[in-house]
Amino acid sequence: MSLDTRYPLNLPVNAPPLRVLIVEDDPMMQLGLEQSLMAHPQIEIVGQAEDGYLGVQAALQLKPDLVVMDIGLPRLDGIAATQQIKAALPATHVVMLTSHQTETEIIAALSSGADAYCIKGASVERLLSAIAAAVDGAAYLDPQIARRVIDNLKPPSATTNTANLSGRELEVLKLMVDGLSNPEIAEKLYLSPNTIKTHVRGIMNKLAVDDRVQAAVVALRSGLV
């Protein structure tokens, strides 16, 4: 699939490109990621690594803004590598890109500290959505993954105010579940990004959750979307 280079990453106009490290052991996948992401004017590929150990070393040396991380890596898996990177470089975002969809692996990935989770084979646009969400300070969970973990998570607390969401908040919540970042939601609903941030904060307060991923899970379990 060709990449629309107009796709926004919500970076300031004069901001330097987003410095990205790719950690992937499949040479063809690595090449495809490099070519697709390099086509975006706001992304600069600063390095690549073919296993988790080298990925950690490269991250410590290069200090990238963001790491695209596979899970099934030799020597050191992507979950352990992500934990080490986030411990040493908390400001570095990690997007987990994986074909692993079993409940155990997903829960482990969710606890690794990564900012976003995408399924291999998804469109480049979806990967860019995950990157945009991470850069925007939001969590991104691929809808395929969200639906796989629902049955393994506790149901919403009895104090969760799911019925108190306004019509607009429900609109925003549905788009959050679909994986859209705040700027994308703002554009779709013809609202300002600040207004969307206010709605997102209100949604998380009413659902008694700490991030967008938890909000999506509560929404799906509750049948809100």
The pair of three-digit structure tokens given for residue 176, joined into one six-digit string: 């959050």
Q: What is the pLDDT of residue 216?
A: 74
Q: In residues, how long is the chain?
A: 225
Greatest alpha-carbon span in the chain? 49
- Residues 186 and 169: their CA atoms lie apart, in Å, by 12
pLDDT string in tens for the chain (225-residue length): 333 333 456 666 677 899 999 999 999 999 999 998 988 888 999 999 999 999 999 999 999 999 999 988 888 888 889 989 999 999 999 998 877 656 656 666 666 788 888 888 777 888 888 888 888 877 777 766 666 665 555 455 544 556 688 999 999 998 887 767 788 889 999 999 899 989 998 998 888 877 776 777 777 767 776
**3-class secondary structure, 4:** coil
- Residues 112 and 123: their CA atoms lie apart, in Å, by 24
pLDDT in tens, 9-22: 666 667 789 999 99
Dihedral sign, Cα of residue 1, residue 125, residue 94, residue 77: negative
Q: What is the DSSP string of 104-146?
A: HHHHHHHTTT-SEEEETTS-HHHHHHHHHHHHTT--EE-HHHH
Closest CA to 210 of 199, 201, 197, 219: 201
Long-range contacts of 31-39 (CB under 8 A, 24+ apart): 33/68, 33/97, 36/3, 36/124, 36/127, 37/68, 39/3, 39/5
Q: What is the pLDDT of residue 118?
A: 83
Q: What is the pLDDT of residue 93?
A: 93
Helix axis angle, 78-88 relative to 103-110, nearest 10°? Answer: 10
pLDDT in tens, 128-146: 888 888 888 777 777 666 6
Alpha helices in the chain (DSSP H): 27-38, 52-62, 78-88, 103-110, 124-135, 143-149, 167-177, 182-189, 193-207, 212-222
Q: What is the pLDDT of residue 43?
A: 92
